[in-house]
């Protein structure tokens, strides 16, 4: 048997096939005999293939007439089918035209029917509105508040169905009066239920208010009930202050020593306890409202905190202001604070100090801790509600933050002016080199001190504003550096007179007084010994060291400031904003206010975000600065 597979291969090579066949012969078989057998096998297979082809060709020829007849029959059937389909299409076209006319007529009839039904319903609503208007007083007289709410809701529905019909204008006014009347009837019962924790009654009364669309009234009553105890928590500070003052006045030893505030407590030490009690109160209300008002607790309790902070706003700002003044004896004696100093309502010589701002930052840190706890408590609330709540928490500090640049500039300016950079004093012959060396030493030591002051200002900005006032900080730092450099220049000018080089070699100045001064300086130079002259030269060379120190220190500080601004930009880039900020001019991630933010986005609600979310112009200004820093 021969394998016919290789013969069907397109790359068949007879020589290779013969060589392969020879390799398969038995070792004892001669090559000639093997080739003869192989030739015989090929001839026999070829004859079999030829016979098979002849037989199949004959059979195929016999099937051709039959296939021809089948093709003709199929062609006739196709022609007949085409004729039938064409006839059917013509009938469908005729039916389509008739159906379209019928459908159009049916659509008109349906429209008429719908309008008639709408008119019928409107007439029913009008009749019902008339009936409800005539019986509503009886419903109110019965004292059934749920039924009264249902009646008013039906009247509202009927009025919306009737539309602006002049005949029912008086009914519309009547409905508004009745809704106010029902609201006033619900108010005492609701406030009693809220005060005494009556869940079922509170739920029923809430349903009545919601039925007439008075959710705002529910918010108002809820806030009104709880605002009084929260005010008492706030007024506890003044109560304790008055009690301590009375106790101190009764103490004879305190009066003799002149100390009337030995028992007084500071606002900074009292504020954390106030926040703890306030947070505990809110937690209790949150738990109760989840049971009593499961649909509204996410907005009711935050609204309570917002209204509380708004009610305490002016008092809160005043206490913060006085607390900042208590850290400095001069302002404590006058009972004044930062805002009083900035307004100029202070005696001369009293300036804002770093201690004032540090005390303000300490209070702000306490509030930031409370804000984080509030954010955790209200984590189920919507992002917009949460943002408004945190903004209300930080609101007492807003007036201070708006004037942060002015505060920082005043502090740095005062500290720079207090640096030991007095000019050189003219001494006698032999002491000029010492004076020069001492002056240069003061200049050199002042540079690290000034850089430390600037770094402290950067830290204060981050701690107090979260970087939202970075633009004002940069302006303040720029002005202070210019002020410091001006002081250095004035010191250098004083060194010229000490060194005896002032007004020498200036041909443009030819007055008699200048000539006289120049001659005096020339005589001083002539009287300087070689050792003194060398000392002056050494002092002058030290000025180059001062310049190099100033350059290197300022370069390091500038790099640090750029890094800080970059961190601010990065932290704000992950913040969530639902405001109208221009996305092209900001690196902030702007999302739709209806979107649900992730946990990471909610965690980004820091003090800077809370300030900038509703201040698009300030945000653009800040991010323009951050963009410039990033591009440089």
DSSP assignment of 189-256, as one string?
HHHHHHHTT-HHHHHHHHHHHHHTT-HHHHHHHHHHHHHHHHHHHHHHHHHHHHHHHHHHHH-HHHHH
Indicate if the pLDDT at residue 526 is higher than 70.
no
Residue of 332 and 505 predicted with greater confidence = 332
pLDDT, average across residues 142-168: 65
202-223: average pLDDT? 86
Identify the pLDDT of residue 136.
Answer: 65
C-alpha to C-alpha distance for 529 and 125, rounded to whole angstroms: 116
Average pLDDT over residues 221-244: 88
Per-residue pLDDT tens over the stretch 529-565: 566 566 666 666 777 888 888 889 999 999 999 999 8
The pLDDT of residue 586: 39
Q: Is the pLDDT of residue 59 over 80?
A: yes
pLDDT at 473 over 90: yes
Cite the DSSP H helix spans in 251-312: 252-257, 267-292, 297-311
Nearby residues of 211 by Cβ (< 8 Å), 6 or more positions away: 146, 149, 150, 152, 153
DSSP letter for 7, please: G
Which residue is it, tokens 């300086």?
521
Task: Write out the two tokens for 170.
Answer: 């008086």
Which tens digits make up the pLDDT trace of 176-208?
777 777 788 888 888 899 999 899 988 888 888
Cα–Cα distance measured from residue 301 to residue 305, given in angstroms and rounded to the nearest whole number? 7
Distance CA 425, CA 495 (A): 8
CA atoms within 13 A on the CB side of 103: 6
Q: What is the pLDDT of residue 253?
A: 53
pLDDT of amino acid 158: 65
Q: Which stretch of DSSP H or E encloses residue 472? A: helix 470-499
**Of 484-493, 532-541, 581-590, which gets the smallest average pLDDT?**
581-590
Q: What percent of the chain has pLDDT over 90?
A: 25
Q: 64-68, 116-120, 313-317, 608-612: which range is least confident on average?
A: 116-120
Residue in the block written with tokens 């009084």: 228
Which pLDDT score, from 0 to 100, does residue 185 have? 84
Cα 442 from Cα 419, distance rounded (Å): 9
* Cβ-contact 588, 581 below 8 angstroms: yes
Does the pLDDT value for residue 159 go beyond 70? no
* Contact in structure between 286 and 377 (CB atoms under 8 Å): yes
Q: Could you read off the pLDDT of 101-145 as tens digits, one per residue?
A: 777 777 777 777 666 655 555 545 455 555 556 566 666 777 677
Q: What is the mean pLDDT of residues 572-581?
A: 49
Residue 592 pLDDT: 39
Count Cβ neighbours within 10 Å for each residue of 372-390 and write b for 16 or more, e otherwise.
Answer: ebbbebbeebbbebbbbbb
Asked whether the beta carbons of 620 and 582 are under 8 A apart, the reply is yes
In degrees, to the nearest 5, what angle opens at C-alpha 415 toward C-alphas 409 and 419?
140
Distance CA 96, CA 100 (A): 6
Q: pTM of the entire structure? A: 0.69
Element (H, E) at 577: strand 576-577
Q: Are the C-beta atoms of residues 534 and 528 closer than 8 Å to each other?
A: no
According to DSSP, the residues that pair with 589 across neighbouring strands are: 576
Lowest mean pLDDT among 31-40, 428-437, 471-480: 428-437
Query: How far does CA 100 lie from the centroid of its chain?
Result: 59
Contacts 24+ apart (CB under 8 A), 185-190: 185/145, 186/145, 186/217, 187/217, 187/221, 190/218, 190/221
Distances (CA, A) of 357 to 129, 281, 562: 66, 31, 24
- Ranking 451-455, 513-517, 530-534 by mean pLDDT, the lowest is 513-517
Q: By 3-state DSSP, what share of the chain in percent is helix, strand and coil, each rounded to 5?
A: 80, 0, 20
pLDDT at 321: 93
Average confidence score pLDDT of the chain: 78
Decide if 319 contacts 237 (C-beta within 8 A): yes
Q: Where are the domains of the chain?
A: 226-401, 433-560, 574-632
Please report where in the chains the tokens 């940069």 appear, as a residue. 474
Q: 3-state class of 5 per DSSP?
A: coil
Write the CB contacts of 226 (distance below 8 Å, at least 6 apart in sequence): 194, 281, 285, 304
Reduced to 3 states (helix: H, G, I; strand: E, B; else coil), residue 578 is coil
**What's the count of helices (H) and strands (E) in the chain, helices before strands?**
23, 2
The residue with tokens 């930052």 is 361
Predicted pLDDT at 595: 41
Average confidence (pLDDT) over 437-446 = 82
Higher pLDDT: 258 or 433? It is 433
Task: Check whether 214 has a pLDDT greater than 60.
Answer: yes
Angle, nearest 10°, between helix axes 145-162 and 169-195?
Answer: 150
Burial (CB count within 10 angstroms: exposed 0-12, middle 13-18, buried 19+), residue 67: exposed
Tell me the per-residue pLDDT of 74-84, one tens digit each, with 9 for 90 and over: 888 898 888 88
Place of tokens 């093709």: 71
The answer to whether the CB of 264 falls within 8 A of the CB of 244 is yes
The answer, yes or no, to whether residue 171 has pLDDT greater than 90, is no
| Residues β-bridged to residue 577 | 590
Please, which pLDDT band fits residue 515 given cuts at 50, 70 and 90?
Answer: very low
Q: What is the mean pLDDT of residues 284-291?
A: 94
Mean local confidence (pLDDT), 268-282: 94
When pLDDT is averaged across residues 219-234 and rounded to a whole number, the result is 92
End-to-end CA distance of the chain: 88
């Amino acid at each position: 048997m021969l394998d016919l597979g290789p013969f069907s291969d397109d790359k068949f090579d007879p020589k290779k096939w013969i060589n392969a066949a020879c390799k398969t012969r038995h070792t004892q078989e001669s090559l000639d005999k093997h080739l003869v057998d192989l030739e015989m096998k090929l001839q026999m297979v070829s004859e079999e293939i030829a016979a098979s082809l002849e037989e199949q060709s004959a059979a195929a020829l016999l099937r051709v007439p039959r296939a021809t007849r089948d093709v003709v029959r199929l062609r006739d059937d196709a022609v007949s089918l085409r004729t039938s389909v064409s006839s059917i299409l013509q009938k469908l076209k005729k039916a389509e035209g008739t159906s379209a006319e019928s459908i159009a007529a049916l659509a008109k009839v349906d429209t008429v029917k719908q309008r008639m039904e709408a008119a019928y319903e409107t007439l029913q609503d009008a009749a019902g509105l008339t009936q409800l208007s005539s019986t509503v007083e009886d419903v109110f007289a019965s004292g059934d508040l749920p039924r009264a709410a249902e009646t008013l809701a039906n009247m509202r529905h009927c009025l919306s169905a009737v539309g602006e019909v002049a005949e029912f204008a008086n009914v519309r006014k009547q409905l508004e009066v009745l809704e106010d009347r029902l609201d006033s009837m619900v108010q005492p019962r609701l406030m009693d239920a809220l005060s005494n924790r009556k869940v079922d009654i509170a739920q029923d009364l809430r349903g009545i208010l919601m039925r007439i669309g008075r959710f705002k009234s529910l918010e108002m009553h809820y806030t009104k009930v709880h605002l009084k105890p929260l005010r008492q928590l706030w007024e506890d500070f003044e109560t304790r202050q008055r009690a301590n003052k009375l106790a101190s006045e009764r103490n004879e030893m305190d009066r003799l020593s002149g100390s009337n505030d030995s028992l007084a407590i500071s606002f900074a030490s009292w504020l954390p306890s106030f926040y703890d009690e306030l947070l505990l109160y809110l937690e209790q209300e949150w738990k109760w409202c989840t049971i009593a008002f499961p649909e509204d607790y996410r907005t009711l309790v935050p609204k309570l905190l917002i209204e509380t902070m708004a009610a305490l706003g002016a008092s809160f700002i005043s206490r913060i202001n006085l607390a900042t003044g208590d850290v400095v004896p001069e302002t404590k004696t006058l009972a004044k604070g930062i805002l009083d100093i900035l307004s100029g309502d202070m005696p001369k010589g009293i300036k804002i100090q770093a201690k004032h701002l540090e005390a303000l930052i300490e209070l702000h840190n306490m509030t930031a801790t409370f804000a984080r706890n509030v954010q955790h408590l209200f984590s189920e609330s919507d992002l917009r509600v949460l943002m408004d709540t945190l903004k209300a928490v930080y609101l007492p500090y807003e007036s201070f933050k708006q004037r942060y640049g002015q505060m920082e500039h005043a502090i740095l300016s005062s500290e720079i002016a207090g640096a030991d950079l007095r000019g050189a004093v003219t001494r006698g012959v032999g002491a000029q080199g010492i004076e020069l060396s001492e002056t240069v030493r003061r200049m050199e030591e002042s540079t690290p001190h000034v850089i430390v002051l600037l770094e402290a200002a950067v830290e204060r900005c981050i701690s107090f504003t979260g970087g939202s006032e970075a633009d004002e900080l940069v302006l303040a730092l720029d002005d202070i550096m210019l002020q410091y450099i001006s002081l250095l220049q004035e010191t250098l000018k004083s060194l010229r007179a000490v060194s005896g080089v002032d007004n020498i070699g200036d041909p443009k100045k030819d007055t008699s007084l200048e000539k006289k001064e120049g001659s005096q300086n020339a005589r001083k130079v002539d009287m300087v010994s070689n050792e003194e002259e060398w000392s002056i030269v050494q002092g002058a060379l030290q000025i180059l060291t001062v310049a190099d120190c100033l350059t290197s220190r300022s370069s390091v500080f500038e790099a640090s400031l750029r890094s800080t601004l970059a961190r601010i930009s990065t932290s704000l880039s992950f913040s969530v904003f639902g405001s109208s900020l221009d996305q092209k001019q900001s690196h902030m991630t702007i999302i739709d206010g209806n979107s649900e933010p992730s946990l990471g986005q909610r965690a980004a609600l820091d003090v800077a975000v809370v300030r900038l979310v509703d201040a698009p112009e300030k945000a653009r200004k800040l991010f323009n600065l951050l963009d410039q820093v990033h591009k440089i």
